[in-house]
């Protein structure tokens, strides 16, 4: 559940905003927090760094899966916004309600099980040591076959991983077919202007 706010109050000290005080009383820029409230995990974006904290921002107010996500399934999108907002208010104080921008055009709730275009939002869940031992092999091409998908990227389980892997495979295909000039043109194009994926997360794959 994504919620949009008029200001990024979470980046300010709770002493400034009147929010709940913490041991450090510093704002949150990037990272995530976990709670036993229904929202479970709140993800704080880091890409607003350097911008005025009074500017607008979007918060991943609830990132849930399995049974925690199912609890939201009976509710409309607008009801999900309100439920998540109530928990954000519990965590950050009434400033969250005051700064929230309501409406479906400003917020988004997505329950993957109800999405007919995907199969439940499945992803690879690696065990201890498996990223190091398996991912490099899964990234390696076999003759003319190249492997893409979130499971072949360091950001597995995220859409970012799927996108990164697609860019990596395009690079591999172009370079293996002596078209490095086309890869460099693509890399420097408007299409990848804001892409900052690390193609060399695993050296020597």
* The residue to which tokens 């890399």 are assigned: 187
Give pLDDT, residue 117.
79
**Token pair listed for 23:** 């041991």
Ranges 12-16, 47-51, 58-62, 186-190, most confident: 58-62
> For 66-75, 160-169, 186-195, which range has the lowest pLDDT when averaged over its residues?
186-195
Do 2-114 and 130-192 show the same overall fold? no
Bigger pLDDT: 196 or 67? 67
Topology given in CATH for the domain delimited by 2-114: Polyamine Oxidase; Chain A, domain 2 (3.90.660)
Q: Torsions phi, psi of 32, nearest 5?
A: -145, 160
Question: In terms of pTM, does the model score above 0.95?
Answer: no
105 touches 23 (CB < 8 A): no
44 sits in which H/E element: strand 41-44
Tell me the mean pLDDT in the region 64-75.
89
State the fold for domain 130-192: Arc Repressor Mutant, subunit A (1.10.10)
Domain residue extents for the chain: 2-114, 130-192
pLDDT band of residue 121 (cuts 50, 70, 90) is low
User: CA 106 → CA 15, 59, 73, 102, 135, distances in Å?
Assistant: 28, 11, 20, 7, 37
Question: Which ranges in the chain belong to alpha helices (H)?
Answer: 14-17, 67-70, 77-92, 95-99, 130, 136-139, 159-176, 180-187
Q: How far apart are CA 55 and CA 10, in angstroms?
A: 12
């Amino acid at each position: 559940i994504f919620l949009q706010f008029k200001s990024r109050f979470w980046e300010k000290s709770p002493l400034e905003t009147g929010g709940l005080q913490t041991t450090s009383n510093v704002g949150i820029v990037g990272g995530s927090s976990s709670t036993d409230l229904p929202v479970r995990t709140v993800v704080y974006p880091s890409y607003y760094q350097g911008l005025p904290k009074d500017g607008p921002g979007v918060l991943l107010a609830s990132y849930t899966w399995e049974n925690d996500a199912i609890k939201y399934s009976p509710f409309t999108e607008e009801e999900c916004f309100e439920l998540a907002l109530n928990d954000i208010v519990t965590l950050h104080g009434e400033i969250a309600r005051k700064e929230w921008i309501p409406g479906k055009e400003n917020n988004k709730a997505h329950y993957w099980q109800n999405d007919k275009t995907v199969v439940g939002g499945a992803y690879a869940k690696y065990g201890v040591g498996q990223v190091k031992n398996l991912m490099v092999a899964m990234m390696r091409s076999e003759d003319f076959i190249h492997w893409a998908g979130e499971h072949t990227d360091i950001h597995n389980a995220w859409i970012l991983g799927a996108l990164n892997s697609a860019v990596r495979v395009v690079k591999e295909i172009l370079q293996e077919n002596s078209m490095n000039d086309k890869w460099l043109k693509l890399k420097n194009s408007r299409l990848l202007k804001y892409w900052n994926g690390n193609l060399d997360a695993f050296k020597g794959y």
